[in-house]
Amino acid sequence: MHRRITGLTALLVALPLTAAWAGTYDLTIGKTQTDVTGKPKTVLTINGTVPGPTLHFKEGEEVTINVTNTLDVDTSLHWHGLVLPYRQDGVPGISFDGIEPGETFTYRFPIRQSGTYWFHSHTGFQEQEGMYGSIVIDPKTPENFSYDRDYVVVLSDMHNDSGQTILHNLKKSSDYYNRDQRTVGDFLSDIRQDGLGATLRDRADWGDMRMMPTDIADVSGYTLLINGRNADQNWTGLFKPGERIRLRFINASAMTYFDVRIPGLKMQVVQADGNEVDPVAVDAFRIAVAETYDVIVEPKDKRAYTVFAEAMSRSGYARATLAPRKGMEAAIPPMSPRPQLTMADMGMAHRGMDHDAMGRVMDSDAMAHDGQPGAMQPKAGMDHAAMGHAMPGHDMPDTDKPSDPFYAPGSGLTPKAPNGGKFLSYDDLKAARPLYEDRPSTREIELRLTGNMERYFWSINGVKYSDAKPIRLRYGERVRFKFVNETMMTHPMHLHGMWSILDTGKGRWDPIKHVVSIAPGKTVYTETEVDAPGEWAFHCHLMYHMGTGMFRKIIVEGGPSQQAALRTKENEE
């Protein structure tokens, strides 16, 4: 079957489930003008729209996708979260060379899973400029839950500044976009609450680290969107009272974490990153960049409900509506209080040390625990214990048992639902259908998430991607990854081509994800069944973190098809 997915004449249109059935698809990359941010802006489109069309696949079938590039620069499409041959993964420089101007590139791969996923450009900053769309895959066997109506809800961010401009500004001044800095009024308020001495010590602590507790996000000034529409444009999904509605939330933003709630409705989380979980009822949830969550809601009353997605930094919000008929609206709730980092987030209790911009003691001549230059190491003679913050080569404080919540007590980032409601935690997720047997890992690989805010680069184990060697895995092994976040930023880590089994202490029932969010100062463990030969990307999904070095190539050696795949690559090169 061959069906062309045509673009709609209006840009920024709600696309709950575009009629696009499996077989062969034709996608065209282009550009157009929009004013969704309040100013005229050129955006990139897929078949004429932002977001691009929803691709509807069926588990077990083969798909062919022809992608035509009408831009004057190279492009690409990556099928986020899909398990496929590595040459079809769509990452320039790793799985293929990219799609040149005027070229049509054909992707062909089997559909080996079901659930909610998405696709986006993996070239430069094109994803932020509009190149993303959703994927819905119907399962072979019935799911463990039922619903009457189905909507895709794509969360995203769009900026008036281009990606290159944003990066230039961050390199020039890392707080260029920090529009929520503390004021003299805050200083006086803190004195009244905590006393002069405590307030001065707090300011000195942050000054030593050359940071601010408001450093929640690198970039503000985004217009936040739902299905391509801003809050005033108000995307609306219709329902009949008493229906069970499935909402497939996808965070397709470049840099924005969202806290999502629907005042007046409980949400039953049924899938995380495309994999079924035991249903858990929540009032709100945080969705990291590139994650997906499927929830069921059941509105009983004949009234409108607001889908409210506020940025974790509280720099803005996206808004949509569920309603029995078009034109109905519900009140927009007030935003939650702005979070602020605390010393608990940074693992810092003392000051007076010589820190870099990450709050770390820095010795640029030191060697990392993995033997690569440029990693952050303790300077000779420092009292590491007094710092309350572990160094590379040393363990973080042992407070991160697998069953603990993934946000430390006292953390300024610990999410809360309004009125004491239930906020989803990773610890709440339990796999409904484990993909793998529970077996011991064969080895552990430690990945310390590092960087330098003043110079604005991000890294793993102190080494940027451009200077790093690939991580080599062996086909058939089970690898345990230890993530240690030594920065004040939250990082959504994404492994291409293979699943990440998040260790929450549930054994074979641990949730299975393609993105794992690591909060500041936290140590998190995942395990991966190495079952995909070839070369894969592994990176932070925050666009400007990935683009400045928090990225690795994974090479899986061995396996039934590796030699043939590598020979094919050599022939093409």
The closest alpha carbon to 118, from 154, 151, 147, 84, belongs to 154
DSSP 245-303: EEEEEEE--SS--EEEE-TT--EEEEEETTEEEEEEEESEEEE-TT-EEEEEE---SSS
Q: What is the pLDDT of residue 189?
A: 66
**CATH 2.60.40.420: which residues of the chain?**
24-142, 143-178+214-339, 340-396+430-573
Indicate if the pLDDT at residue 120 is higher than 50. Answer: yes
Q: How would you classify the pairing of strands 534-540 and 491-495?
A: antiparallel
Domain 340-396+430-573 has CATH 3.30.450.20: no
How far is Cα 2 from Cα 437, in angstroms, rounded to an integer? 38
Helices (H) and strands (E) in the chain, counts: 7, 30
More confident residue, 395 or 553: 553
The closest alpha carbon to 562, from 86, 62, 83, 80, belongs to 86
Q: What is the pLDDT of residue 407?
A: 67
How far is Cα 318 from Cα 156, in angstroms, rounded to an integer? 9
Q: pLDDT tens-digit profile of 453-480?
A: 888 999 999 999 999 999 999 999 999 9
Q: pLDDT tens-digit profile of 91-100?
A: 999 999 999 9
Angle at 29 between CA 27 and CA 33, to 5 degrees: 130
Torsion of CA 122, 124, 127, 132, to 10 degrees: -40
3-state helix, strand, coil in the chain (%, to 5): 15, 35, 55
Q: What is the pLDDT of residue 175?
A: 74
Distance between start and end Cα atoms, the chain: 32
Q: Hunting for tokens 């996708």 — which residue is that? A: 65
Mean pLDDT computed over every residue of the chain = 83
Of the pLDDT bands very low, low, confident and very high (cuts 50, 70, 90), residue 215 is: low
Structure tokens at 134: 């959703």
Region of residue 345 (phi > 0: left; psi between -120 and 50: alpha; otherwise: beta): alpha
Q: pLDDT tens-digit profile of 228-269?
A: 999 999 999 999 999 999 999 999 999 999 999 999 999 999
Residue 390 CB contacts under 8 Å (≥ 6 apart), including other chains: 347, 384, 396, 397, 484, 486
Indicate if the pLDDT at residue 528 is higher than 80. Answer: yes
Q: How would you classify the pairing of strands 478-485 and 523-529?
A: antiparallel
More confident residue, 563 or 135: 135
Q: pLDDT tens-digit profile of 294-315?
A: 999 999 999 999 999 999 999 9
Q: What is the pLDDT of residue 572?
A: 54
More confident residue, 348 or 321: 321
Structure tokens at 290: 């590139």
DSSP 8-state class, residue 86: G
> Which stretches within 333-421 are classed as H helix?
343-346, 384-387
More confident residue, 189 or 187: 189
Residue 263 CB contacts under 8 Å (≥ 6 apart), including other chains: 305, 306, 308, 330, 331, 333, 418
The closest alpha carbon to 167, from 517, 546, 553, 551, belongs to 546
Q: What is the pLDDT of residue 3?
A: 34
Indicate if the pLDDT at residue 4 is higher than 50. Answer: no
Q: What is the pLDDT of residue 413?
A: 81
What superfamily does domain 143-178+214-339 belong to in CATH? Cupredoxins -  blue copper proteins (2.60.40.420)
> Which stretches within 361-406 are classed as H helix?
384-387
| Residue % of the chain over a pLDDT of 70 | 76
Q: What is the pLDDT of residue 483?
A: 97
Contact yes or no for 131/93 (Cβ under 8 A): no
Dihedral angle sign, alpha carbons of residues 78, 36, 542, 250: negative
Q: What is the pLDDT of residue 340?
A: 77
Q: What is the pLDDT of residue 412?
A: 74
How far is Cα 287 from Cα 307, in angstroms, rounded to an integer? 14
The closest alpha carbon to 50, from 67, 77, 32, 68, belongs to 32
Which pTM was predicted?
A: 0.84
Contact yes or no for 144/432 (Cβ under 8 A): yes
CATH classification code of 24-142: 2.60.40.420
How far is Cα 181 from Cα 315, in angstroms, rounded to an integer? 12
Residue 71 CB contacts under 8 Å (≥ 6 apart), including other chains: 29, 30, 31, 44, 101
Radius of gyration of the chain (CA): 23
Range list of β-strands (E), 290-415: 292-297, 305-311, 317-323
DSSP 440-455: --SEEEEEEEEEETTT
Contact yes or no for 55/20 (Cβ under 8 A): yes
Indicate if the pLDDT at residue 319 is higher than 60. Answer: yes
Indicate if the pLDDT at residue 569 is higher than 60. Answer: no
